[in-house]
Structure 1
Amino acid sequence: MNKQGQTGKTRQWCLILGASSGMGLATAKKMSENGYGLILVHRDRKSELPRIHTAFDALKTSGCPIHHFNQDAIMDTNRLDLVGKLQQLLPKDEKIRILVHSIAKGNLKPMHAEKGRIENADFQLTLNAMALSLYDWTISLLAANLLDSDTRVISFTSEGNTKVWAGYGAVSAAKVTLEAISRQMAVELAPHGIKVNCIQAGVTDT
């Protein structure tokens, strides 16, 4: 194996959810350097696309194949559509070995205020985006036979999982849920060769 992501003519793939900035984009850079093919999913405004495409084009200098999609990974219809596309794109003998969940979509609102206090819908949106979608994606990819027999699933939590910060209630709840889901997946999906880690990186210069 010349690089971690390639053995002979067979390539392994890294799927990153939330790949256009921060930890997601930094991970894409590192994975491309190690020979992985990249599947980059992001949701950004049209005005941001030139910057994002420039960053993605820079990754191609490694010589690794890259597929990127500007779709909302949280929506069930989009997830199923993307899984179907990946079944067509990836050669039958090539699988996703690394799934990185770096979706940051949530509401930061106070619990008590005359205007703009957090509502039930804010909790639901934040938990679905930053926690439950990890499970949805992992199970969908497993059912589609797209995961390698030795897969890593990685997500990111924060110090807000235990500390109280003003307006951080929904995100804090999502991070605690993310950690609980990761623990459960690590045990229940282990027979399928899936290893799950939830990383608390803290402030990170990407």
Structure 2
Amino acid sequence: MKEATKPVAWVVGGSKGLGVMVAKGLAQDGYRIVINYRRSVEPAYKLANELEQIGVETLVVQGDVSLVEDVKRMSAEVLSRWGRIDALVCAAGPFTFKRTPLIEFSDATWREMVDGNLSGVFYLVRELLPTMRRQGHGRIITFGFPEVESSPAWPGYGPYAAAKAGLASLTRTMAAEEAPHGITVNMVVPGDIRDPYKEAPIAKARGQRDPRTPIGRSGTGEDIARVVRFLAHPDSDMITGAVIPITGGLTY
């Protein structure tokens, strides 16, 4: 593939967690990889080094996607470096692990959940969609939680759930608006994937019983990456506006 036409994938939050296997998988599919980090500088460069060792061109950028100024700066850096963006995978998103009644959340935590999980995606697509439109091609993939498309109650996690439910609607709105431009927008829904499986291959979870997941094993980063890679493929253009569960049957 000629360098000028070699596709570029930005895995937002790809330095740690589920984004790691996504970045590795897309690299195997021939993408140049953008990795951004907020504070995890060492994991970001460790991943970049791993990819570069196998001949993958990478770009590491620092910034917080919940801050519009950071998104503008990072997007400009990506487009200045490679002049294109073919896949945007929005794997980043803060989460509160302590179950908390809604009225006990602080203003700061509410803003962190909404800006990190919803506003950040808006900021990113506003910067990158014009380039995708000019290309006549693009793939945008967001991340949700089980049954998010039905706006379910999730007691104890209200701000996060509200932001992700909003993101599901935003995903489908973008899918409808961008379809004429050759751009697909879909959401993947991971199940209850915990360490050490977030950055693991499927083989590591085989034979390891997980009572939380009906299928019997934990999900892994590779499970998510397999679906993202499928959605990012040029021949997956008939799939847009979809919310795809990768949960092993788990519901909340």
Tell me the TM-score range normalised by the shorter chain. 0.7 to 0.9
**Residue 172 of structure 1 corresponds to which residue in structure 2?**
161
Q: Secondary structure at the match of 1:159?
A: coil
**Residue 34 of structure 2 corresponds to which residue in structure 1?**
39
- Distance in 2 separating the partners of 1:101 and 1:130: 9
8 Å contact from structure 1 (residues 42, 73) kept in 2: no
Q: Secondary structure at the match of 1:40?
A: strand
| CA RMSD between the two structures | 2.3
Matches within 5 A, 1:184-195: 184-195=173-184
Change (3 A) 1:172 1:13: same
Matches within 5 A, 1:54-203: 54-91=46-83, 95-107=84-96, 110-111=100-101, 117-143=104-130, 145=131, 148-159=135-146, 161=148, 162-202=151-191, 203=193
Q: Tell me how far 1:198 sits from its aligned partner.
A: 0.6
**Residue 22 of structure 1 corresponds to which residue in structure 2?**
17
1:22 partner amino acid? G
Instruction: Give the structure-2-normalised TM-score.
Output: 0.68
Identity of aligned residues (%): 22
Q: Tell me how far 1:9 sits from its aligned partner.
A: 5.3
- Distance in 2 separating the partners of 1:170 and 1:133: 15
- Distance in 1 separating the partners of 2:164 and 2:79: 30
Q: What do the CA deviations read for 1:142-201 (whole angstroms, capped 9, x no partner)?
A: 23x256422110011012735544421111111101100001000012222210001113
Instruction: Choose between structure 1 and 2: higher strand proportion.
Output: 1
Q: Secondary structure at the match of 1:200?
A: strand
Unmatched segments (≥5 aa) in structure 2: 194-218, 222-252
Aligned residues: 191
